[in-house]
Amino acid sequence: MPGYIRLLIYFSCQVFYAESVMFPLEEKTQQIGNRTRIEILASILRVASNGALKTHIMYKANLSHRQLERYLAFLEQRGLIVQGIDEEVGNRIYRMTEKGCDFLREYSHVSGYFSLNPS
């Protein structure tokens, strides 16, 4: 089975799990405003690809602090992002892991199939 199909199945299961565990008080569908939860996860991973402060992730991914905390916990539990300390400044930074890089690569691949602009 091609990797992108396995990933799509994995995402579907994870989103269902996220719907019931990560966001149990929300009665919304998978779509939140203009972005899906998976799009938000991908956005966070893009920002954290080279290491980023929590504040930078929050602003660049356009999330509230509460949302960011939930998403970071979700990503950390699944090994897609890790916390570290910036040696120069001593601030806590978040970095995407190899697993997160794989996720982002596959997400980009799969989302390309659903884009409105065929290339």
DSSP letter at 28?
-
Cα→Cα distances 72→43, 110, 111, 115, Å: 12, 23, 22, 27
- For the entire predicted model, the pTM comes to 0.70
- pLDDT, tens digit, 9 for 90 and up, residues 70-111: 999 999 999 999 999 888 888 899 999 999 999 999 998 888
Q: What class is the 3-113 domain?
A: mainly alpha
Return the domain boundaries, the chain: 3-113
Task: Choose between 115 and 101: higher pLDDT.
Answer: 101
Question: CA end-to-end span of the chain, whole Å?
Answer: 24
